[in-house]
Amino acid sequence: MKSLQFLFITIILFKGCGALQSAYRSGSKCSSAPLKTMVAESIFDTTSTSEQQTKTQILQLGAALDRGQAYNPTSGEYYKETMDVARAKIEELLEQSPDKIPTKLEDLEGEWELVLSTVPHGIFRSSPFFLAIQESYEYAEEKEMNGEPKANLFFRLHELQTCSWGTSKIGRVAQRIDPTKKYLYSEFDTSIFSLTVIPILGWFKLLPTFGGCVVTASKCELEEDGKLSMEVDFTTSRKVPGLKGLPLIGDYVWKINVPVGAIWKLLPWNKGRAATCKVFVKYLDKDFRIVQDIDGEYFVYTRPVVPRPLEI
């Protein structure tokens, strides 16, 4: 009797395993539709398992490092080892897929969010405005001061002035590329006075929190070998849902366009040069983009889980 029961159970398990294998090969009804949609929307459908694993590790490191902000050489060397691993993982992915470099601007179209950067002194440096400042120091007679590149010194001082005592905090950092207009719109959210209190004695916020999204619009062209050339045109701002704008000014601030490109040429130290900059697109697939600046630092972007419209 027990032998018959054992045989009966064995047959059921065998058939169950066969059914599971069949379902795994063909895909269940609830998962096949999203999979087909994903494949249909992909730009490059050649991502290997090793690439996916490396991309996952890069995303994990981006979360652990707060997109790169956790390691700050001004504050100290803590998290440097983690940042070194992040850089190594990025370069590992580039070695795995040396051919994933875009050839036309249309490949970059749409919205991208920054998830990791190896650049020191502020992830806002992904903006073409700050990239143009970085490149402008290449024209200086003396490029270093006390053994440190003047560009890094500028960004370190800028970070100290804007972020000390919790004055300013960087939120979402993103880019969107319009190949029809040949424009790149760089965005970063900033909040002022997020947390202000009297030390030890404080039980309530002293100052209101306000801020917005800073938008820099730049003309862009994709050239050979993934070189993305940009020229800053103007800077404006947009309201962030749930965040108050500047006090006293009201909604007027969202209507201001600052002609950065024109002003840049008038500044005597720029000697009439345009606010130009460039990065190199080293990797692109349907949901991942890696660029490198002139100093060899990386910016990693992904397609947003929560897209946000931008009206210019």
pLDDT per position as a tens digit, 210-229: 899 999 999 999 999 999 99
Interval 46-87: pLDDT, tens: 667 899 999 999 999 999 999 999 998 888 899 999 999 999
The two three-digit tokens of residue 155, written as one number: 């960004």
Q: Round the average pLDDT of the chain to a whole number and report it.
A: 82
Whole-number Å distance between alpha carbons of 242 and 140? 42
Read off the pLDDT band of 45 (50, 70, 90): low
Residues of the chain with pLDDT > 90, as a percent, come to 58
Residue 139 has pLDDT above 50, yes or no: yes
Residue 38 has pLDDT above 60, yes or no: no
Return the closest-CA partner of residue 159 out of 195, 120, 133, 194.
120
pLDDT number for residue 288: 97
Read off the pLDDT band of 251 (50, 70, 90): confident
Q: What is the DSSP letter of 282?
A: E
